[in-house]
């Protein structure tokens, strides 16, 4: 199990990144997008909103991939070692 500490740590980091990005999505969509984009009609914000949304989702996807990949790696190899 000690051999997989780095992979397990990377899995945890990936899950933390995905969770943080998920929180940013709700924080961004709630007050920022509605207030600044729809109510205030800030043209500068509306021009950059797709870039923000795409970046947030790419970061979330990367974190989700890293978390799942390394968690599966650790699980597979621990089972393989037990056999």
pLDDT tens digit sequence for 10-61: 999 999 999 999 999 888 877 777 767 667 777 787 788 889 889 999 999 9
CA–CA distance, 36 with 27 (Å, rounded to integer): 13
DSSP 34: I
pTM of the full structure: 0.80
C-beta of residue 40 within 8 angstroms of C-beta of residue 78: no
Residue 24 has phi, psi (to 5 degrees) of -65, -35
Alpha helices, DSSP H, located in 1-83: 5-27, 43-82
């Amino acid at each position: 199990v000690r051999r997989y500490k780095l992979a397990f740590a990377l899995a945890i980091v990936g899950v933390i990144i995905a969770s943080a990005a998920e929180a940013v999505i709700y924080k961004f969509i709630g007050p920022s997008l509605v207030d600044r984009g729809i109510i205030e009609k800030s043209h500068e914000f509306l021009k950059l909103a797709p870039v923000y949304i795409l970046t947030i989702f790419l970061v979330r996807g990367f974190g989700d991939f890293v978390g799942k990949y390394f968690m599966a790696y650790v699980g597979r190899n621990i089972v393989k070692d037990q056999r």
